[in-house]
Structure formats: structure tokens, C-alpha cells
Amino acid sequence: MARGAGASVLLTRRGLDGASGILFLKFTDRYKQSAALTAWLGSLATALRLSLGPLASGLSNRFTERVLIMASGVILSLSMVLTGLSPNVIYVFLSFGILGGIGRSFAFCPSIVMLGIYFEKKLGIVTGLSGTGCDVGRFAMSLLVPLLFRFFDFQGAFIVMGGIALKIVVMGALMRPLFVNQKTSESNKGSRIRPELKNKCCNVSSVAVTIPENSITIEETKEEIYTCDEDKTPIFNFSLLEEMRFVGFCITMLLTTLAEQSAFVFLPAFSEEIGVLGKIGSEYTLVITSVFITLAKIIAGFIYDCRLVRPYRVYFFNALMFGQVTVSFVIPSVKTFTQLAIACALYGMFSGLYTAQKSVVIVDILGRDKLKYSYGILMMFQGIGVLLGPPLSGLVKDINGRYDVAFYIGGVCMLVGSLIMFINNVVYYVRSKNNNTHVDKPGNLPKTIQISIIPTDNLKS
């Protein structure tokens, strides 16, 4: 149920993001602004969705992921309705950009974290299958949004999209917190709740402590045990940025997101520019890309959990990025619909094979217990990339009058990001060999042991 609800939340949220290229054309036609300014509308919403990741993580720690997801549905629905009623582009910045970005953020980060909490085994498969909701949504909305604008006016289309966003409230209600499920199913057993999954620590008789194998010491054990005196978990944990391998991964995803967001925003406009589909069929570029992203994410889930690949998932992730770099440089040279369709399919295939597995890579780098904090930080870096990508490409288009430059800029940024991650992986591999000490391979997760604790207030003298 949690996987289905998570996929549904991602479907709705990502579907609205996936239609950004179509909405870019509609905003341009309605408000008659420059490409750079109009591109800021979608970029601001997506940038806030990602940049507010640490805040979403912190609020979910305090109020639970379930509450935050349900609130996001209400906020996002209100955003869509107000956008349809906006008289000028300034109001669209406030409604679609700021309010919509907050709603997207509160839906995205908690739904991803819930999967990491619910599923300890086969995380790659679960992440891949749930991530397909993103691209099923992109596929569906790429077809639905043009129909909404065709059969309804500008206001009517956004009001309908506001109604679709309310589905997130229902899906969020299905995501029961894990400790509630465990209390229900294990009422006659010792509690097995990990401390990081509890919003408040109450009187417990046992906790599950995550400690690396063969590394159990008294000092380490003391650090992992939460006593009944602590009633709140920390909201943020920026100390994770001291891990250089994680910082390098965040920078890589910043540059990759900058490239991808530009591509998805300008693909329909680029197809119109080269005249292979016309204005009515330009949305099919996003449809083709979304179909192959969806298929790739399903395949990726099984590949990343394959026994042979699992110890080297971080390196496999990095290798796939270079394939997308190549396709990005090829897209501006296409001349026919067949060539464009093949390029979109390859771009979507490479994107789907690695983008849905970001949380898996974080677990391999930092461990599962830090996923709730680290994923929010990663989203913040990605938000910077989204904020810069489309406006930068739109500015260059305003200068030279062509959309193909967006793909060259994206290719260069993605290449730099891929090289940063490659260098980090090489340094990590060499150091692990030279130190001649036990270093957990990527993909080997810490084991959990059971430690009994007797509250002091239950002891009798």
C-alpha cells in the first residue's frame, strides 16, 4: 500500500512538473513575455520543490511524513486554481512559482523517504517501481494538459489541474507511519522501532540500533541509544556535508538537474523550431521521453538490486551519466521526426536508468539511517540547478533566437558533473585500497541488532 500510495503521489506531482514544456508555451502565448522570464515560472516552482528539501525533511520529522503529504495536496491544489485566475505574470510567480513550489516540495521528499523507511530489502526495485509513477504522470499529463487547454480555456484548465492535485491528500492518508503499523502488529512483542523513526521517544523496553558489523564497541553503542529524556528529533543535519563524497554527489546532481530541466522545458519548443511536428504535435517529444524513462526505471530497479551490480551501484550510476551526455550533444543536430524520436528515447532511457536511484546511491554512501536528512540536502542542491538551468538557456535563446543552445549548455554541465563524480569515485576506491583496512563496499548496509533497555523509572531499589 505504501509503495502504491508513494507512486500515486509522485505521479500527480511529477505529472504537473512534466508538463512544464507545454505550460511554458501556454504562458508565453498568454502573457507575451520573453523566453528567459517565462522560463522562470516553471523553474521557480521546481527549484523551490527541491531547495525546500531540508525544510520538508525537518517538518516531516516533527509532524510525520503523512501529515506533510496531505498538507501538500491542499497547497498545490490552491496554487493551480490561483494560477488560472492570475491577471498577469507577477501573480503567476506568486501562485504557480512560490506556492506551487512549496506544495511540490512537501509532497516529494516525504514520499521518497517513506519508501526508504518501509522497505529495507530490495530498495532498488521498490524505488524503481515507485519512481515510474513520476514518468507515468509525465506521460499522462503531457497528453492531458493540451486537451484541457483545447476543450477549456486557460482558467478552466488550471482549475481541473487543481482538482487533480487534491488526489495527493487521499494518497497521503494511506501512508501510515511505520511505528503505528508496528505497534498494531507487534503489540505482544518487543518493540523493534528504530529511534530515527520515532517523532517522540516514550517508555520503551527495547530499541533497534544500527551498528556496522564487526565494529561494536561500548562507546558506539552509547551514541546510538535514545533514552526517554529526549522527546524530539533534530530537524536538520548539515554535518553530513563534511562527507566529501556526498558533497561531490550533490554537486553532480546540481549540474545534471540544470541540464535535464532545460531539456524538458525546451524540447517542445525545439521541435516546433525545426518544424518536424508542428504546434499541435510538439508535446509528443515529452511523451516519447516519458515512456522510455518509465521503462528504464523499472529495469533499473532490478539491475541495481542484482547481486553482481549491488556492490558497485555508485560506479554504475556514474557510468550511465556519460551516455546521457552524448545524447544531449546529439539532439541539436537532428533534422527529422525519426531522428528526434530516437534521440528523445535514448535521452529518456539513460535518464531513467539512474535518476530514480538517487536515494539508493545515498544509502550506499552514507547509510540508511541518514537518508531522511541527506535526501533533503540533495534536493536543495538540485533546486539550485533547476533555478539556473531554464532561465539561462532562455536568456541565450533570446540573444541568438535558437533553442538548440539549451542542449549544448546542458551537455557541458552534465559532462562536468559526471567527471566530478568519477574523480570522487576513483579517490574513494584508491584510498580504500591503500588504507589496507576494512571498508564497506557500496551496497553493503549496516546490520541491526536488538538491545534491551530498562527505563530507570521502572527500577526498584
Average pLDDT over residues 352-361: 81
Whole-angstrom CA distances from 169 to 52, 58, 67, 164 are: 20, 20, 9, 10
Nearest residue to 73 via CA among 49, 48, 104, 42:
104
Average pLDDT over residues 156-163: 89
User: What pLDDT was estimated at residue 224?
Assistant: 41
Count of the separate structural domains present in the chain: 1
Name which residue leads in pLDDT, 234 or 420: 420
| Residue 225 counted as domain residue | no
Cα separation of 3 and 299, whole Å?
Answer: 17
* CB of 60 closer than 8 Å to CB of 233: no
* CB of 124 closer than 8 Å to CB of 357: yes
3-class secondary structure, 356: coil
Average pLDDT over residues 180-208: 44
| Residue 113 counted as domain residue | yes
Ranked by mean pLDDT, which of 22-36, 108-122, 335-349 comes out on top? 335-349
Residue 369 domain boundaries: 2-177+236-434
User: What pLDDT was estimated at residue 124?
Assistant: 58
pLDDT tens-place string over residues 400-436: 777 788 888 889 999 999 999 999 999 988 888 887 5
Which stretch of DSSP H or E encloses residue 46? helix 35-51
Indicate the Cα dihedral angle 240, 260, 314, 306, nearest 10°: 130
| Residue 459 counted as domain residue | no
User: What pLDDT was estimated at residue 58?
Assistant: 77
Q: Return the CATH number at 11.
A: 1.20.1250.20
| Residue 442 counted as domain residue | no
Least confident of 100-104, 153-157, 435-439: 435-439
**Grid coordinates 535558437 are at which residue?**
402
Q: Which residues of 262-274 are buried (b: 16+ CB within 10 A; e: fewer)?
A: bbbbbbbbbbbeb
Name which residue leads in pLDDT, 215 or 81: 81
pLDDT tens-place string over residues 376-404: 788 788 878 877 877 777 787 777 777 78
Can you say whether the dihedral through the CA atoms of 340, 346, 349, 353 is positive or negative?
A: negative
DSSP label at residue 121: S
pTM (two decimals) = 0.62
| Residue 198 counted as domain residue | no
Cα separation of 325 and 318, whole Å?
Answer: 11
Nearest residue to 192 via CA among 209, 181, 207, 176:
207
| Residue 283 counted as domain residue | yes
User: What pLDDT was estimated at residue 415?
Assistant: 94
Q: Within the chain, how many helices (H) and strands (E) appear?
A: 20, 2
Whole-angstrom CA distances from 271 to 93, 161, 339 are: 26, 25, 11
| Residue 456 counted as domain residue | no
Q: Radius of gyration (Cα) for the chain, nearest Å?
A: 23
Indicate the Cα dihedral angle 302, 307, 308, 310, nearest 10°: 70
Residue 450 binned pLDDT confidence (cut-offs 50, 70, 90): very low
DSSP label at residue 370: G
Cα separation of 208 and 357, whole Å?
Answer: 26
| Residue 159 counted as domain residue | yes
User: What pLDDT was estimated at residue 226?
Assistant: 40
pLDDT at 71 over 70: yes
